[in-house]
Structure 1
Amino acid sequence: MASSKTDTPTWDKINSWTEELEYLKSIIAKTELIETTKWGGCVYVLDHRNVVGIGGFKNYFTIWFFNGVFLKDEKKVLVNAQEGVTKLLRQWRFTSKDNVDEALVLDYIQEAIENEKQGKIIKTPKVEVTIEMPEIFQKELDVDPNLAEAFLKFSTYKQKEFLEYIVETKREETKRSRIEKIKPMILESIGLNDKYR
């Protein structure tokens, strides 16, 4: 199928697979999952947790299972889209509506729902990363006790975000401008990435 050149992301070739994706939607509608839109795509959730998603790509359309690693996959239809990168997510790819076995797709979705209800997750060990206090920022804290006190009120995680923001740049003047930018945030108890949470 030819895909038109547009500004749509490469994973969202929905216009090439409209009928096929509508068919997948009609199958998923027979389950208890709720349709939402996330990352510009169609995602189905159970109690606000992602279970499956659908989308069109250049050469195929797909249903993906966010915790697909737990599926038995007796028919061996699932693939890891990024081997070595993706730990949990698995895709089931189709190139034609005729390839979609509704009963089998429903079986896989129901198993994914059951896994979600059972709370099957992979626990990844937390890696403690320490970041050394940049001297340029330490000097600011030394001369401004209010700033130092406000900084210490943040959780270790949020302190690290501020420190990473400063040290990830090489140039001294950029470090200084970043410090000037974050000082009011620190004094107002606003974390570096709070607006994205």
Structure 2
Amino acid sequence: MNPQVDEYLNNSKTWQEEMKLLRRIVLDCQLMETLKWKTPCYTYNNKNVVLINRFKSYCELGFFKGALLSDTYSLLMQHGENSQSSRSIKFTNVADILEKEPQIKAYIFEAIEVEKSGLKVVLKETSDFLVPLEFEQKLKADPILTAAFQALTPGRQRAYLLHFAAPKQSKTIQARIEKYIPRILKGKGLNDCICGLSKRMPSCDGSHQLLQSTCTEN
């Protein structure tokens, strides 16, 4: 049991009992406990297997390679149609977790076997994702922007394309593109830190909000 996870759970104002129960179940499956992305994460041979997460209306057990699980009991949920690898089981009360404990453990043991086997989720190539016409026009008109976008990792490219393509109105798409062009030119991903204060670089942990608050007060 990791003391950082103890602190995380004890300080949680929501879903505390549910998450503590999920923790006990996961640890029964002999996984190693750590805290990643400010969230309890459980590993096998240093490979991420599951994490315990909380949201406003539910908590969940998230499987990093959930797409490879057989989902025998039809419990796995997909976070949006563009979620390629992860799947999760959502909970809203302790009784539901206790009732499903045998099934939960079966999913965890299967996830461990996936890691042991070395199986990997086959992800879509960046070329398989839709490039909004508005962004395509920007790239054609600006070779510097094109070079900067092509220099990003495939994952960062996909994140931008999904974000730009989400709105239905062209005006909103254009506004998103204009907002994030400076980031792209700096070689930053959609969720990368740009203030330099994040404690989990290169990802943003919200430290810029503290910076903004300080500037406003001054």
In the superposition, relative to structure 1, how do residues 118 and 86 fare at CA in structure 2: closer, same or farther (>3 Å)?
A: same
Which of 133, 151, 160 is 1:160 aligned to? 151
Alignment-derived partner of residue 92 in structure 1: 89
> What is the TM-score when the length of structure 1 is the normalising length?
0.58
Task: Confirm or deny: 8 A CA contact 2:73 2:103 kept in the other structure.
Answer: no
Give the 5 Å matches for 1:29-178: 29-82=27-80, 84-100=81-97, 101-124=100-123, 126-127=125-126, 134=144, 160=151, 168-169=181-182
Give identity over the alignment, percent: 29
Task: Confirm or deny: 8 A CA contact 2:68 2:121 kept in the other structure.
Answer: no
Richer in helix (by share): 2
In the superposition, relative to structure 1, how do residues 47 and 81 fare at CA in structure 2: closer, same or farther (>3 Å)?
A: same
Kindly report the root-mean-square deviation, in angstroms, between the aligned alpha carbons of the 2 structures.
3.4
Q: Give the Å deviation of 1:48.
A: 1.8
Number of equivalences: 137
Alignment-derived partner of residue 159 in structure 2: none
> What is the TM-score when the length of structure 2 is the normalising length?
0.53
> Which runs of 4 or more aligned residues in structure 1 lie more than 6 Å from their structure 2 counterparts after TM superposition?
130-133
Q: Give the Å deviation of 1:14.
A: 3.9
Q: Give the Å deviation of 1:125.
A: 5.7
Which of 4, 19, 22 is 2:20 aligned to? 22
Task: Confirm or deny: 8 A CA contact 2:42 2:49 kept in the other structure.
Answer: yes
Deviations 1:95-117 (A, max 9, x none): 11110122111111000000111
Inter-partner Cα distance in structure 2 for 1:94 and 1:68: 17
Deviations 1:121-141 (A, max 9, x none): 12336558x99864xxxxxxx
The structure whose Rg is larger is: 1
